[in-house]
Chain A
Amino acid sequence: MSNPKTLYDKIWNDHVVTNNDDGTSVIYIDRHLVHEVTSPQAFEGLKIAGRSVRQPQFTLATADHNIPTTDRDKGIADPESKLQVETLEKNCADHGITYLSMNDNRQGIVHIIGPEQGFTQPGMTIVCGDSHTSTHGAFGALAWGIGTSEVEHVLATQTLIQTKAKNMRIDIQGDLPIGVTAKDIVLKIIQTIGTAGGTGYVIEYTGNVIKALSMEGRMTVCNMSIEAGARAGLISPDEKTAEYIKGRPLAPSDDYYEKAVQYWMSLASDKDAQYDKTISINAKDIIPQVTWGTSPEDVVSIDGSVPNPHDENDTEKKKSMIRALEYMGLEPNTQMKDIKVDKVFIGSCTNGRIEDLRAVSKIANGKKVAGHVNAIIVPGSGLVKEQAEKEGLDKIFIESGFEWRDPGCSMCLAMNADKLQPQERCASTSNRNFEGRQGRGGRTHLMSPAMAAAAAINGKLSDCRDF
């Protein structure tokens, strides 16, 4: 038998177009997602060089970052956002690329609509000018974020020049306590390895806990691989993966379906495959997690307290902790559960899928959002929105006092009108708590949908297990 290979090795090997003398490889890109913010300069570059798009049918475009989540029929008020969206629309029309417009019910956050349409499949290489492309790794696809120069490179050549990364395995075994979700798992991982822990690696998540997650949960974990510094996250495809894809618009047609599934199942890492690094986490140690600072590694358990910089020996770390606490307006040793919030944001490519909304509705059902809290729910796509409404979740949300919005990135990065005011504090299901991420001076606490819902009801950070 040949050398045992990992899932990453196998996908890599199946996409090498040619190896360059310098150790890099030209890697074929099966699918390319495009959005309005990181693509205009790429199309501009093509035009200047007189180049065309090599495989328009392998590219799917939508507008998600910059669009309003209310009053869509009135169009986009901000002239710059409007120009970006119109530029994308025109570029797609010029090059024969499918574009899902703001008013198409299939529109949504790129990383949500890819899987939804069956565009995302195991064994593929998938890229997008967006760091959370790692989401698609949940299907056993090698998926990573690229810059605009690379967007241009993919459009022109359907390939990228890549250096093979190292391969890390994060193994999560044991019994996950009740009330603990995929988001808590990934926050725990980032706390454990740090935001640079995965730099230079592709991470494969393994273990019974990962296997037991739904596809939605797996997407949440892979989504935040980038917050752990990794280029991509991967989960081995299995029956759940195949089942999820079956029947979707771009799923392999009946003629090829069996063959495709056979290929997908062959991708799992071989038993004796070697990883450059392995990290094990015991699931029983994970309880609902929240962030206290301005880096996704600033994680504590909900029953914990804000850390004290005095306890930190590393002077550099101490300095950044003091800065983070000042920015966050928090005193050391404050109980996390005593921290009041002003806003709640439920949505994003991390937690804007139907399962996430169901988790919120379970907590919110029959209760009211605290009087001082403004809480918005932004479904990840038009189809998520439709499904939620079919299940009557929208009614639960509205009755509880949540705002029910149209799909998009919204307050995950606050490029549209949805943003925090300076010093406003937000319980958010998104993925980044950087300074200013949700609006200048805004203070973000990352957590799971159930935890964000609990914070909305109690008006302060709360343990969803008490509901």
Chain B
Amino acid sequence: MEKFKKIKSNAIPLPMVNIDTDMIIPKQFLKTIKRTGLGKSLFYELRYDENDKKISNFVLNQDQYKDSQILITGKNFGCGSSREHAPWSIADYGIKCIVASSYADIFYNNCFKNGILPIILPEDQVQQLLQAAEESLNFEVDLENQKISYILNNEAKSLKFDIDPAKKACLIEGIDDIGLTLNKVSHISDFENKQKSMNPWLYSRKLT
């Protein structure tokens, strides 16, 4: 996984609540067997009309947000189906950081596995950022110092955010979870041996 570096970009304001994973990436794109290539279909049904033409007033289609790496959005983002295609499509599009006042659990955890930083801030601060995103083109997300800064009307502003230290470390160092766990393989074997003697039925049958 790529290491998470400081982001400097403008921020996409998407002030809708309860954006579910069907809206992030509709099911017709789930048939892929690869992780990449989904960015062009991100928010497909909000972004394109029935004839696959771009809907010009949708925020992702507006020129000033074309290369944004930050998304600011409403609460309970990523609810619904657990499809990891949602964070894949977000990452493939180039968004590296999301800001909202809450997320669905599974989606939240999936972000970290795909190098995306999901920041949680109180609703009033999210509203403040949404407004700023409409006007300002200069945002900076500094994970190391847990800080979002932006410039609005020539005034520099910044907000602190909280994040679990372990999750932060993994993002910064780009560590793969499986590698971490496989370092503990002897613990896993010990567990299996113990479980096998305590609950032997768990190990006794296989479907053919």
Is B80 touching A249 in the complex (CB atoms < 8 A)?
A: no
Which of A179-187, A365-373, A395-403, A429-437 is the contact stretch? A429-437
Query: B113 near A: Cβ within 8 Å?
Result: yes
Is A145 touching B208 in the complex (CB atoms < 8 A)?
A: no
Is B182 touching A157 in the complex (CB atoms < 8 A)?
A: yes
Q: Which of chain A's residues 169-192 have a Cβ closer than 8 Å to chain B?
A: none
Is B202 touching A124 in the complex (CB atoms < 8 A)?
A: yes
Is A435 touching B33 in the complex (CB atoms < 8 A)?
A: no
Is A131 touching B22 in the complex (CB atoms < 8 A)?
A: no
Query: B104 near A: Cβ within 8 Å?
Result: yes
How does the 8 Å CB contact mask read for B3-42 relative to A, with 1 for contact and 0 for none? 0000000000000111010110011101111110000000
Is A200 touching B105 in the complex (CB atoms < 8 A)?
A: yes
Q: Which of chain A's residues 233-275 have a Cβ closer than 8 Å to chain B?
A: 249-253, 255-257, 259-260, 263
Query: A149 near B: Cβ within 8 Å?
Result: yes
In whole angstroms, what is the CA distance A369 to B81 when docked?
32
How many A residues, CB 8 Å from partner? 77
Q: Which of chain B's residues 55-84 have a Cβ closer than 8 Å to chain A?
A: 74-76, 79-84
Please, which residue of chain A has its CB at the minimum distance from the CB of B123? A316
Binding site for A on B (CB under 8 A): 16-18, 20, 22-23, 26-28, 30-35, 45, 50, 74-76, 79-84, 87-88, 102, 104-106, 109-110, 113-114, 164-166, 177-178, 180-182, 184-185, 187-188, 191-192, 195, 199-202, 204-208
Among A30, A40, A124, A414, the residue within 8 A (CB) of B33 is A40
Among A17, A23, A199, A249, the residue within 8 A (CB) of B207 is A249
Q: Which of B32, B81, B178, B206 has the most CB of A within 10 A?
A: B178
Is A413 touching B27 in the complex (CB atoms < 8 A)?
A: yes
**Could you jot down 15 A-B contacts, CB within 8 Å?**
A17-B188, A37-B30, A37-B31, A81-B31, A83-B33, A98-B206, A161-B177, A229-B104, A249-B207, A250-B205, A255-B204, A260-B199, A415-B31, A434-B23, A435-B22
Query: A156 near B: Cβ within 8 Å?
Result: yes
Please, which residue of chain B has its CB at the minimum distance from the CB of A37? B30
Known: A40-B33, A250-B205. A26 touches B104 (CB 8 A): no
| Chain A hits for B79, CB < 8 A | 195-196, 229
| Chain B hits for A49, CB < 8 A | 178
Query: A153 near B: Cβ within 8 Å?
Result: yes
Is B33 touching A23 in the complex (CB atoms < 8 A)?
A: no
Query: A18 near B: Cβ within 8 Å?
Result: yes
Q: Which of chain A's residues 287-324 have a Cβ closer than 8 Å to chain B?
A: 295, 316, 320
| Chain A hits for B30, CB < 8 A | 37, 415
Supplied contacts A40-B33, A149-B110, A149-B177, 11 more A-B pairs, CB within 8 Å: A22-B164, A30-B202, A41-B88, A54-B188, A57-B206, A80-B31, A84-B33, A146-B106, A157-B181, A229-B105, A436-B45
Report the minimal beta-carbon distance from B190 to chain A, rounded to whole angstroms.
Answer: 8
In whole angstroms, what is the CA distance A180 to B137 when docked?
55
Is B105 touching A26 in the complex (CB atoms < 8 A)?
A: no
Report the minimal beta-carbon distance from A245 to chain B, rounded to whole angstroms.
Answer: 11
Query: A117 near B: Cβ within 8 Å?
Result: yes
Q: Which of B45, B109, B185 has the most CB of A within 10 A?
A: B109
Is A295 touching B18 in the complex (CB atoms < 8 A)?
A: yes
Please, which residue of chain A has its CB at the minimum distance from the CB of B195? A28
In whole angstroms, what is the CA distance A149 to B85 when docked?
11
Is B184 touching A38 in the complex (CB atoms < 8 A)?
A: no
| Chain A hits for B109, CB < 8 A | 147
Please, which residue of chain B has its CB at the minimum distance from the CB of A100? B207
Query: A20 near B: Cβ within 8 Å?
Result: yes
Query: A465 near B: Cβ within 8 Å?
Result: no
| Chain B hits for A432, CB < 8 A | 22, 80-81
Please, which residue of chain A has its CB at the minimum distance from the CB of B46? A435
Is A145 touching B82 in the complex (CB atoms < 8 A)?
A: yes
List the 9 closest pairs (A to B, CB-CB), nearest first.
A22-B166, A252-B201, A40-B33, A80-B31, A256-B201, A147-B84, A149-B113, A131-B82, A148-B84
Query: A453 near B: Cβ within 8 Å?
Result: no
In whole angstroms, what is the CA distance A177 to B115 when docked?
50
Known: A17-B184, A159-B181. A38 touches B76 (CB 8 A): no
In whole angstroms, what is the CA distance A13 to B169 when docked?
27
| Chain A hits for B35, CB < 8 A | 41, 44
Please, which residue of chain A has its CB at the minimum distance from the CB of B103? A199
Is B45 touching A435 in the complex (CB atoms < 8 A)?
A: yes
Please, which residue of chain B has its CB at the minimum distance from the CB of A415? B27
| Chain B hits for A259, CB < 8 A | 200-201
| Chain B hits for A205, CB < 8 A | none
Please, which residue of chain A has its CB at the minimum distance from the CB of B181? A157
Please, which residue of chain B has its CB at the minimum distance from the CB of A87? B33
Query: A150 near B: Cβ within 8 Å?
Result: yes
Among B23, B80, B181, the residue within 8 A (CB) of A26 is B181
Please, which residue of chain B has its CB at the minimum distance from the CB of A295? B18
In whole angstroms, what is the CA distance A124 to B195 when docked?
11
Is A436 touching B26 in the complex (CB atoms < 8 A)?
A: yes
| Chain B hits for A51, CB < 8 A | 178, 182
Is A66 touching B195 in the complex (CB atoms < 8 A)?
A: no
Is A23 touching B201 in the complex (CB atoms < 8 A)?
A: no
Known: A23-B166, A24-B166. A38 touches B113 (CB 8 A): no
Please, which residue of chain A has its CB at the minimum distance from the CB of B75? A196
Q: Which of chain A's residues 401-420 have a Cβ closer than 8 Å to chain B?
A: 413-415
Query: A158 near B: Cβ within 8 Å?
Result: yes
